Chain A
């Protein structure tokens, strides 16, 4: 209880962040859902928390909204501690997973619900509701029932219902999960646009990495109740700090191997099948004899029909094409590496050079050590 007063005394340092979490922990009986998580969300940014189901991201979001109380730690919004503040008194609004639009009211009553609770005069409510509906691109739908809207329109009504209250932080709990693929792609762009238009801080939780990568300014990758890494999308993709992040964000081929030699950052590893791999020590603590997990992205692997077409690659191998997964610009081949017998997923460059590849073809594959990231594994 001493922390809130301490933070209140220094409001200038806190004002830069709309949301601050300090050592938040949440225990349920024997289970720790959120374990000592700290992060700051700068004003007006799109912050995503990305993690597999059961990683504690929903619990974290519900603590920010006020539906759950942290076991320990402090939570500040615009520099004010929110511990002990009930959800209806917090300057945050939440877009629920299934939107939670009120079926017993029309759209105007849904959007105006929060304003009514604040005792805003009736004429003002009508005006502000219409304005916010226009801003989300749904002018004049106020008198309709929510069942008369499409999935994407409902989404926008749910956002309008929160934004009309001008919250400091808008929380979004996987709101795109229920939409079909095409609409989801569309809504990703829409959400990002709405966020920059309103200039409100968004905290978005999802298990879908592409949602997080496309929309966010900052992403926190969460696993087992802890943040593995916080950073911009590019950082997470190209320089994942942990094996979990490397495997969870984006696609990657992964192998286990034993460290044979280490020289600064450069590591030489040998897989159990005897394949030599040259890579980069990404965790920074690899020692000779360690077991390591090695990640190579499909697009980092270069293809060639002649060995001499692949120069400057530290890892050069041969493989036989087992399957071609054609998916337009995002096509891949699955091939079996000759020496180790391991399966590799390789992206096909879209230059037309490899259009004629067929099942059973033998190709050369090569990748650079700098794009081969190795992480220490326990045991």
Chain B
């Protein structure tokens, strides 16, 4: 009786997870896979094959766009880490109580508005008639309006800004768990700021750094809105290509193949990153 009850409650708790996994992830991906391996030979005529995947490797534009997207995403991740680490260290180690909560909240507040609105905010600042351009003209630094939008720097700003929270949160959590006396012991034994950072703080924060990097990298790679709005039509972002295939070209077969390639290639990059940093998924994201 009792064991039957506990089995039922376990089943009930398990059901939403299984439904979510099956309906939203496994089943759509199976169908995507099926679509991606059917090559169109004529009107409503398909054969099974890897032709769609071959298109990606034979057409330099697709291949280059992916490389560019991956490279930009890695850069955005590193830049976010570089900016986020001091912020997280300050929040975790140098503030207490109310100040800590307030600062943490300030990192969170931008995420209360939608990504679209946030991106438009940046457009207002960066466009030709925008705030920065007008200010530079007003102070006489430049004579003509400058277009800050529609270049790689604008995409980078947008990506870093969008992902900052996802880097700061895991970093604050791991840095919080670092005992202050370890840092003091480092100084006491003759270490300076750099050696203490390198030998004590970073090794301790490594799981947080890696999990933050994974999340930020995946978010940047899969981001559609920010690169398209801030980078313009020529932003050449891989998700933009997928969108084109599905919506503009109505070529679902190629689009699905691209989707799968994105999944495989990004997983490979994350795996390589984990190997390079000597971490595992279990002790980074799985904590």
Contact = CB atoms under 8 A, between A and B. Distances in A.
Interface of A: 65-67, 86-89, 92-94, 96-98, 100, 102-105, 113-114, 116-118, 161-162, 165
B205 to A, nearest CB: 10
Contacts of A114: 189-191
Contacts of A97: 181
Which range contains the number of B residues in contact with the other chain?
Answer: 10 to 19
B188 A87 contact: yes
B280 to A, nearest CB: 16
B52 to A, nearest CB: 47
B204 A104 contact: yes
Given A88-B190, A98-B181, 11 more contacts: A65-B188, A67-B187, A86-B187, A88-B191, A100-B185, A102-B182, A103-B204, A114-B189, A114-B191, A117-B190, A165-B189
Nearest to B179: A100
Interface-centre pick from B179, B182, B189, B203 (highest chain A CB count, 10 A): B189
Contacts of B185: 94, 96, 100, 102
A93 B188 CA distance: 6
A87 B203 contact: no
A96 B184 contact: yes
A243 B204 CA distance: 48
Nearest to A173: B181
15 contacts: A65-B188, A67-B184, A67-B187, A87-B187, A88-B188, A88-B191, A93-B188, A94-B188, A96-B184, A96-B185, A98-B179, A98-B181, A100-B181, A105-B203, A113-B186
B277 interface: no
Contacts of A105: 199, 203
A118 B190 contact: yes
B195 interface: yes
B194 to A, nearest CB: 10
B104 to A, nearest CB: 26
A96 B181 contact: yes
Contacts of A67: 184, 187
A39 B185 CA distance: 25
A171 B83 CA distance: 38
Q: What 7 pairs across the A-B complex have the smallest Cβ distances? A: A114-B189, A104-B203, A117-B190, A100-B185, A100-B181, A96-B181, A87-B187
A102 B179 CA distance: 10
A102 B200 contact: yes
A102 B187 CA distance: 13
B200 A104 contact: yes
Contacts of A89: 190
B175 to A, nearest CB: 14
Interface in B158-201: 179, 181-182, 184-192, 195, 199-200
